[in-house]
Amino acid sequence: MGVMETRIKELREGLGLTQEALAKKVDVTRQTILFMEKGKYNPSLRLAYRVARVLGKPIEEVFSFENEEIK
Cα–Cα distance measured from residue 50 to residue 47, given in angstroms and rounded to the nearest whole number: 5
Q: Say how many domains are in the chain.
A: 1
Question: Domain for residue 70, yes or no?
Answer: no
Closest CA to 7 of 46, 41, 38: 38
| CATH assignment at residue 25 | 1.10.260.40
Cα–Cα distance measured from residue 48 to residue 58, given in angstroms and rounded to the nearest whole number: 10
Write the single-letter amino acid at 26: V
The pTM (predicted TM-score) of the whole model is 0.86
Question: Domain for residue 68, yes or no?
Answer: no
| Contact (Cβ atoms closer than 8 angstroms) between residue 23 and residue 33 | yes
Which structural domain range is residue 37 located in?
A: 3-61
| Contact (Cβ atoms closer than 8 angstroms) between residue 22 and residue 69 | no
Question: Domain for residue 57, yes or no?
Answer: yes
Question: Domain for residue 71, yes or no?
Answer: no
Question: Domain for residue 45, yes or no?
Answer: yes
Question: Domain for residue 69, yes or no?
Answer: no
pLDDT in tens, 3-61: 678 999 999 999 999 999 999 999 999 999 999 999 899 999 999 999 999 999 999 99
